[in-house]
A and B are shown apart, each in its own frame.
Chain A
Amino acid sequence: MNRYLLPLIAVIVMIPILVLGLGSDPSKLPSQYIGKSAPNFSLPMLTDPSRTMSTADLRGQVSLVNIWATWCVGCRVEHGFLMDLADSNTIPIYAINWRDNRLDALKFLSQLGNPYAASGFDGDGRVGIDWGVYGAPETFLINSEGMVVYRFTGPLNRTLWEQEFVPRIAELAN
């Protein structure tokens, strides 16, 4: 009798796995840097190539790093929210302009507004790869020691901000 129950048992074990699979999004990648220091980088600034933006800039305060590009539809969608966020002076937003055309990016910012404390220009995408970026827009939450606390993929809006970022930022303040 025992061995005839084996197939049934195997199936009963497999079902929860499939149910759990239904709950998760197979195309979302978790960041490898959660709980670790943000990868070292040094990029010429978008607005002024003679100056650089680097990991050091992320130390000393809780900040956001936003990965964006002018060819990215979602970035355009979230831009309005980023402007609001910048205006509210809650948190400094740094940016990595990823795989973009410098002139296009500058035009974008001058036309639609610049919410960024500083924007690094990553023309060949090398830094993007170092950060494990797999799509734009992405937004990283960095603590005052320069450690990655959270990564959000996709365009941000007020609801998602309140859901995902506000609680985490509050936790960091404690």
Chain B
Amino acid sequence: MIPEIGHFALILALSLAVCQSVLPLVGAHRDNTALMSVARSTSFGQFFFVAVSFGCLIWAFVNDDFSVLYVAKNSQLLLPTPYKVSAVWSAHEGSLLMWILILTIWTAAVAKFSSGIPLKLIARVIGVLGLLSVGFLLFALLTSNPFERLIPAAIDGADLNPLLQDPGLAIHPPILYIGYVGFSVAFAFAIAAMIGGDLDQNWARWTRPWTTVAWLFLTIGIALGSWWAYYELGWGGWWFWDPVENASFMPWLIGTALIHSLAVTERRGLFKSWTLLLAITAFSLSLLGTFLVRSGIIVSVHAFATDPTRGFFILTFLAIVVIGALVLYAWRAPALDSTVGFSLLSRETFLLLNNVLLVIATILVLLGTLAPLIVEMLNGGKISIGAPWFEIAFLVPMIPLVLLLGLGMHTAWRKQNSGPWMRLFRLPVIAAVIIGVVLPLMFYGRVSLMLIIGCSAAAWIVISSLIQPVRSLRRKEGVAGITRSALGMSIAHLGVGLFVIGVTITSAFGVESDRAMRIGETLEVAGLQFEFRELREVQGPNYTAIEGVLEVRDGGEFIGTVRPQKRQYLVQKNWMTEAGIHPTWNKDLFVALGDQIGDGIWSVRIQYKPLIRFIWIGAFIMAMGGLVTVTDRRYQTAVK
């Protein structure tokens, strides 16, 4: 019964979504207040029904209803309850429903927190979001119904993939989707502005907080995914340039350009067509990502097991949305050209550079991801493009960007006098270069040109980010003297600096060692002693495991114990490697068990990863910076 309610709720949601899109858009066209007001109420209604539907699906999982096909495929009686819940979004149908739910949440939020925004604009924004809902609801109801029945019902399910039975992986999709889907709001604002034919600084001010919140969730979502891959997949890597990873990274890059472009539009009314295009592109890339992951078009361990028919549906939807938006753009954008200017040395120039470099990076990632397809289409056979290419290609626009970042932050709008500007940077640049040389040398024993560039750049960003906060702290008014906006910017950029330092140091100084170890033996890696104490059997709720216990010492000093495991899950019978990690703020010690190669002899992978935590801490701080900027009073349009 409950699954049928869930199914029916979706149908109701669809009819509300149709009302939500058609009526307000018509109303805005005809200046009909009654029709426009329908927007808000229908969006709340749609949210309610989708939430009911999602609730029904959770109910089905938690109550082990194996008469629902989706539950039977992805759950199992012995699965711990939290994972029964996260199993809801572990595969295509359920995660699609979650996408729709999050879209309705964003829409309802826009409806609620927009009292300061003109009705006509909001009606159009909610109308466009409604159209997106219609598309996705149709997709779900026609091709991907999570409530499809399995008759006769299964006695037990096929189990959730053990890889997904992990807290990090459980929350990664929801947070990622909040970001992904959140760009639909900026998209809707852009479309609404283009339909209306006008886009001004107020529009930018209203759009900015929504975009920043989406961006910060996407930042956290990607960081979570990277961290999860690191500790769960057993190889010690944190980014593989896998097509699915790239699919989430591209919207992030464009989203970053978008929030910066919005700043220029808000401040000076410039870059309007840039901002529009970026808003369209960010969400289009979200849609493209959805397509890539679910269509079966790429090979990836992350890809959802689904099929080309669904892929075709998403592609059609993607084409309609993007082509429609770009036609509007080609029509409206030319009229948006403004007639103000800026001088060569100005913040506008730096932000233009920022936009262009981020767009170049995105094009390169897209190129690397799609090139194998293109080459195959041109009958060039199958090629692979992996980390070796991506790493180099990505650095080409990124190194200049990272260096310019520190400069742009402190450059005045319109026209910056070069004298005081250069004086401001003299000390920080010198300090950065010194740190760039000293840090690797003193703490890790080695320098090289690439290392100096990487560490100096990171130090440069960190120092530059701190200039403003430190200055205002020294002044009498303390923290009050700096706007939330500026503080948030400093924090976010500080996060970038930490990220860069983490990447540079861990890539340069990480040590990896594959060895055969006998129980009782001690191996030395990166100056630390790893003693293989014992091997024991461990019982988990739905798995059994062999656990190795290794103790780590530095000289005689005890540092910690790591417990790498090899688990066998009871239903799927897969063997999973769970790495044993000893994390500290400045390094991770990472041990993974391989195979038993003799009596009491096991192959073991030991890794030393200096400053690797800075990668995710940096990303998290970036997101926090975004959060701080959103709290700036000038964005509180809800408070009226």
Docked-complex contact B333 and A4, CB < 8 angstroms: yes
Question: Distance (Å) between the CB of B563 and the closest chain A CB?
Answer: 32
Residue in chain A with minimal CB distance to B311? A22
Say which one of A24-32, A47-55, A147-155 lies at the interface with B: A24-32
Docked-complex contact A26 and B296, CB < 8 angstroms: yes
Say which one of A12-20, A118-126, A164-172 lies at the interface with B: A12-20
If A17-B370, A26-B297, A29-B382 touch, does A11 touch B311 (CB 8 Å cutoff)? Answer: no
Interface string of B40-81 (1 = CB under 8 A from A): 000000000000000000000000000000000000000000
Chain B residues touching A, majority SS: helix
Whether, in the assembled complex, B323 has its beta carbon less than 8 Å from a beta carbon of chain A, the answer is yes
Docked-complex contact B330 and A17, CB < 8 angstroms: no
Whether, in the assembled complex, A21 has its beta carbon less than 8 Å from a beta carbon of chain B, the answer is yes
If A18-B291, A19-B315 touch, does A8 touch B330 (CB 8 Å cutoff)? Answer: yes
Docked-complex contact B312 and A22, CB < 8 angstroms: yes
Residue in chain B with minimal CB distance to A14? B370
Most chain A CB atoms below 10 A, which of B295, B334, B377, B382: B377
If A17-B370, A30-B382 touch, does A1 touch B330 (CB 8 Å cutoff)? Answer: yes
Docked-complex contact A8 and B315, CB < 8 angstroms: no
C-alpha spacing A21/B315, complex, angstroms? 11
C-alpha spacing A11/B287, complex, angstroms? 13
Whether, in the assembled complex, A60 has its beta carbon less than 8 Å from a beta carbon of chain B, the answer is no
Q: Which residues of A contact B163 (CB under 8 A)?
A: none
Interface string of B375-417 (1 = CB under 8 A from A): 0110001100000000000000000000000000000000000
Question: Distance (Å) between the CB of A8 and the closest chain B CB?
Answer: 4
Docked-complex contact A11 and B323, CB < 8 angstroms: yes
Question: Distance (Å) between the CB of A149 and the closest chain B CB?
Answer: 18
If A12-B323, A17-B370 touch, does A22 touch B308 (CB 8 Å cutoff)? Answer: yes
Q: Which residues of B contact A1 (CB under 8 A)?
A: 330, 334
C-alpha spacing A172/B197, complex, angstroms? 66
Question: Distance (Å) between the CB of B453 and the closest chain A CB?
Answer: 33
Whether, in the assembled complex, B298 has its beta carbon less than 8 Å from a beta carbon of chain A, the answer is yes
Docked-complex contact B377 and A4, CB < 8 angstroms: no
Whether, in the assembled complex, B504 has its beta carbon less than 8 Å from a beta carbon of chain A, the answer is no
Most chain B CB atoms below 10 A, which of A4, A18, A19, A24: A18
Question: Distance (Å) between the CB of B276 and the closest chain A CB?
Answer: 10
C-alpha spacing A28/B13, complex, angstroms? 41
Docked-complex contact A4 and B334, CB < 8 angstroms: yes
Q: How large is the interface on B (under 10, 10 to 19, 20 to 34, 35 or more residues)?
A: 20 to 34
Q: Which residues of A contact B203 (CB under 8 A)?
A: none
Docked-complex contact A8 and B326, CB < 8 angstroms: yes
Docked-complex contact B308 and A7, CB < 8 angstroms: no
Q: Which residues of A contact B377 (CB under 8 A)?
A: 17, 20-21
Docked-complex contact B308 and A27, CB < 8 angstroms: no
Whether, in the assembled complex, B327 has its beta carbon less than 8 Å from a beta carbon of chain A, the answer is yes
C-alpha spacing A21/B381, complex, angstroms? 13
Query: 8 Å CB contacts to A: which residues of B307-364?
Result: 308, 311-312, 315, 319, 322-323, 326-327, 329-330, 333-334
Q: Which residues of B contact A24 (CB under 8 A)?
A: 376
Q: Which residues of B contact A5 (CB under 8 A)?
A: 330
Residue in chain A with minimal CB distance to B370? A17
Docked-complex contact B330 and A20, CB < 8 angstroms: no
Q: Which residues of B contact A17 (CB under 8 A)?
A: 370, 373-374, 377
Question: Distance (Å) between the CB of B601 and the closest chain A CB?
Answer: 22
Q: Which residues of B contact A20 (CB under 8 A)?
A: 373, 377
Docked-complex contact A23 and B308, CB < 8 angstroms: yes
Question: Distance (Å) between the CB of B381 and the closest chain A CB?
Answer: 6
Residue in chain A with minimal CB distance to B308? A22
C-alpha spacing A99/B377, complex, angstroms? 34
If A22-B315, A29-B382 touch, does A8 touch B298 (CB 8 Å cutoff)? Answer: no
C-alpha spacing A17/B292, complex, angstroms? 12
Whether, in the assembled complex, B430 has its beta carbon less than 8 Å from a beta carbon of chain A, the answer is no
Whether, in the assembled complex, B184 has its beta carbon less than 8 Å from a beta carbon of chain A, the answer is no
Most chain A CB atoms below 10 A, which of B277, B295, B297, B382: B297
Most chain A CB atoms below 10 A, which of B295, B323, B326: B326
Question: Distance (Å) between the CB of A152 and the closest chain B CB?
Answer: 17
Whether, in the assembled complex, B273 has its beta carbon less than 8 Å from a beta carbon of chain A, the answer is yes
Docked-complex contact A11 and B326, CB < 8 angstroms: yes
Whether, in the assembled complex, B299 has its beta carbon less than 8 Å from a beta carbon of chain A, the answer is yes
Docked-complex contact A30 and B296, CB < 8 angstroms: no
Question: Distance (Å) between the CB of A3 and the closest chain B CB?
Answer: 9
Docked-complex contact B329 and A4, CB < 8 angstroms: yes
Question: Distance (Å) between the CB of A19 and the closest chain B CB?
Answer: 7
Docked-complex contact A18 and B297, CB < 8 angstroms: yes
Q: Which residues of B contact A12 (CB under 8 A)?
A: 323
Docked-complex contact B323 and A8, CB < 8 angstroms: yes
Question: Distance (Å) between the CB of B244 and the closest chain A CB?
Answer: 13
Query: 8 Å CB contacts to A: which residues of B236-273?
Result: 273
Q: Which residues of B contact A29 (CB under 8 A)?
A: 382
Q: Which residues of A contact B330 (CB under 8 A)?
A: 1, 4-5, 7-8
C-alpha spacing A1/B308, complex, angstroms? 37
Q: Which residues of A contact B322 (CB under 8 A)?
A: 11
If A11-B322, A11-B326 touch, does A22 touch B334 (CB 8 Å cutoff)? Answer: no
Question: Distance (Å) between the CB of B442 and the closest chain A CB?
Answer: 47
Question: Distance (Å) between the CB of A4 and the closest chain B CB?
Answer: 5
Q: Which residues of A contact B315 (CB under 8 A)?
A: 15, 18-19, 22
C-alpha spacing A21/B288, complex, angstroms? 13
C-alpha spacing A17/B376, complex, angstroms? 10
C-alpha spacing A23/B291, complex, angstroms? 14
C-alpha spacing A19/B323, complex, angstroms? 15
Question: Distance (Å) between the CB of B364 and the closest chain A CB?
Answer: 14
C-alpha spacing A17/B315, complex, angstroms? 11
Docked-complex contact A22 and B381, CB < 8 angstroms: no
C-alpha spacing A21/B376, complex, angstroms? 9
Query: 8 Å CB contacts to A: which residues of B90-132?
Result: none
C-alpha spacing A4/B377, complex, angstroms? 28
C-alpha spacing A20/B280, complex, angstroms? 24
Q: Which residues of A contact B284 (CB under 8 A)?
A: 11
C-alpha spacing A21/B372, complex, angstroms? 10
Most chain B CB atoms below 10 A, which of A5, A22, A27: A22
Residue in chain B with minimal CB distance to A28? B382
Docked-complex contact A26 and B299, CB < 8 angstroms: yes
Q: Which residues of B contact A27 (CB under 8 A)?
A: 299
C-alpha spacing A21/B499, complex, angstroms? 35
14 contacts between A and B (CB under 8 A): A4-B329, A4-B330, A4-B334, A5-B330, A7-B329, A11-B323, A17-B373, A17-B374, A17-B377, A20-B377, A22-B296, A22-B315, A24-B376, A26-B298
Q: Which 6 A-B pairs have the closest CB atoms?
A: A8-B326, A21-B297, A21-B373, A26-B299, A4-B330, A22-B308
B residues neighboring A (CB under 8 Å): 273, 277, 280-281, 284, 291, 295-299, 308, 311-312, 315, 319, 322-323, 326-327, 329-330, 333-334, 370, 373-374, 376-377, 381-382
A residues neighboring B (CB under 8 Å): 1, 4-5, 7-8, 11-12, 14-15, 17-24, 26-27, 29-30
Apart from A11-B322, A19-B315: 12 A-B pairs, beta carbons within 8 A: A4-B329, A5-B330, A7-B326, A8-B327, A11-B326, A14-B370, A17-B374, A18-B297, A19-B312, A22-B312, A26-B297, A27-B299
